[in-house]
A and B are shown apart, each in its own frame.
Chain A
């Protein structure tokens, strides 16, 4: 439980709200807390802070609490919130931006599984141009024990031919790697 002194909050020019605006193009100040995003969110049950409260906390400048929340990592980006928001606030887009901000700030101690998945996924498409599931699953298992939790699926997936043993390598695989690296460089320069 943290204390927020509303009179001391820079409601109009909050720095965190501006950072989110810069990352996402979405102005959280438009939110009037109707709660529709949380009411319809299929993952709200698994979140530590519900979506409408995340938006409110961004308005209030509670950066550390928001970036360290589980909410931003268990959001599945289904965009039901965005579809229903009467103020056009686009919470799903904000969650994307908050994930990126948490990565930039190195505040991902609460998101080891998710960060591992994203990193291995990006490594895979950087290397091959397309996803090589089998290798991703094996590497993920070393990190999180993924296949040990899904032993009942592994064998049928192989016998039913749902996994390719070999990767497809693109002519342009190197292009995907270059895109990932160039985007990181350009975003780094402009941060």
Chain B
């Protein structure tokens, strides 16, 4: 499969390790990522909070660019995915809005392409392909699969899987030799969109998520979202200080663990970019 790849701003800065592992995983699964030329920020979450029209038109420019190439869009970032899929949905369901969007972006969008998250694209390549690529089973990992909110909500538009109990990431890791835990916070919000303005809220939600993951028996968390990952990983020390907790759960991008299972060397996966470095947990892998 060939896709128009939309990395989004995070994957070019704070989440470089997600970018690298995404590309590795896709290569191993025969998914070709062709970066959309001259893509722009999706606007999350300031554009849609300040103007509905700009909130649709800013991500829509990327859809128009991908359509010129004739490629469906694939986006690893959950927030970008949600903005792109929302723009696509709204334009396909509201011709008057589409006309206004085309007017303000001075480009055409004919609605001939679709939008997927990388997680979906990976799942669609099939578990069989994944088990064939498996070199290092993820033995000993008890993963809390943390999907976050933007991939599955609102479900009418963003519907990678069930909004309450998604399983597609769990199924991948089980096929790759890990255990995944049942836990109730799979799609609970981490308040990524508030981290710059209301850090106190973020710390409370991060605490709750890590507490419930730990209580559910997980020894690490895996996520497809570059807002969730730093909100947990980077904030661990602040959470521990504020709440007197002692969390040290490694927080992975799901593609990092997949790449590891597919034999990509640990040293290449840039785990030193994590604040909670997973050295001990991954010692035997």
Contacts and interface: CB of A to CB of B under 8 A. Distances in A.
Interface residues of A, number: 65
Contacts of A82: 153-154
A77 to B, nearest CB: 6
A151 to B, nearest CB: 11
A175 interface: yes
Interface in A161-185: 161-164, 168, 170-173, 175-176, 178-180, 182-184
Interface in A16-60: 23-24, 42-43, 45-46
Given A76-B194, A176-B40, A186-B53, A153 B189 contact: no
A125 B106 CA distance: 18
A8 interface: no
Contacts of A171: 38
B187 to A, nearest CB: 8
Contact of A187 (B53, B163, B193, B230): B53
Contact of B13 (A149, A164, A178): A164
A79 B234 contact: no
A113 B198 contact: yes
A125 B40 contact: yes
A97 interface: yes
Contacts of B53: 183, 186-187
Contact of B191 (A42, A179, A184): A42
Contacts of B163: 80, 83
A33 to B, nearest CB: 20
Given A45-B204, A187-B51, A172 B38 contact: yes
Contact of A180 (B48, B58, B198): B58
A42 B189 CA distance: 7
Contacts of B116: none
Contacts of B39: 170
A106 to B, nearest CB: 13
A182 B104 contact: yes
B138 to A, nearest CB: 24
Contact of B51 (A144, A149, A172, A183): A183
Given A129-B41, A183-B57, A153 B234 contact: yes
B194 A74 contact: yes
B50 A178 contact: no
B192 A184 contact: no
Contacts of B1: none
A130 B40 contact: yes
Given A118-B46, A150-B199, A79 B13 contact: no
Interface in B217-251: 230, 234, 237-238
A90 B154 contact: yes
Given A43-B191, A76-B192, A152-B238, A186 B103 contact: yes
A161 B273 contact: yes
Contacts of B113: none
A125 B58 contact: yes
Contacts of B188: 42, 80
A92 to B, nearest CB: 7
Given A118-B46, A146-B196, A164-B13, 5 more contacts: A42-B205, A76-B192, A83-B164, A125-B58, A176-B41
22 contacts: A43-B191, A45-B204, A46-B198, A74-B201, A76-B191, A76-B194, A78-B150, A78-B191, A79-B153, A83-B153, A83-B163, A100-B51, A129-B41, A149-B199, A156-B275, A157-B234, A163-B14, A164-B12, A176-B40, A179-B105, A187-B51, A187-B52
